[in-house]
Structure 1
Amino acid sequence: MPIFEYKCNHCEKEFEKLVFAGEENTISCPKCKSLEVVKKMSATSFMGASMGKCTTSSPKGFS
């Protein structure tokens, strides 16, 4: 149940939405109720559980 960022093509409102499985095609703009929305590329779209972690050394066995 990830949170995605969207932008409405009709009124240009940007918003976030908690999306449950199967709801991807029914997202509507909270301002104008248009279904003409596009998912925005954002850090939450592709960052995983390791977000914010920084590795400064090589894994064991590698140099």
Structure 2
Amino acid sequence: MKNTVHVQRAIHKMTQADLSVAIGVSRQTINSIEKNRYVPSTVLALKIAQLFKVAVEDVFELDEND
């Protein structure tokens, strides 16, 4: 799964710590999501998309291996 969490953070001028506090996870979780080491739950993906005011598909995208 590909994601643009780091791009969305940059657009909204947020650090990993800012995002983690806003959605209630650790900074390490955000880091793992951005490095594609962790696939977030549906609820977490929706929280991220809602915070950035975009569709979940604008942040997360299946790749051909998924």
Higher helix share: 2
Higher strand share: 1
Do Structure 1 and Structure 2 share a fold, with TM-score over 0.5?
A: no
User: In terms of Rg, which structure is larger?
Assistant: 1
Q: With the length of structure 1 as denominator, give the TM-score of the two structures.
A: 0.31
Instruction: Flag the structure with more relative contact order, 1 or 2, with Cα contacts below 8 A and sequence separation at least 6.
Output: 2
Q: With the length of structure 2 as denominator, give the TM-score of the two structures.
A: 0.30
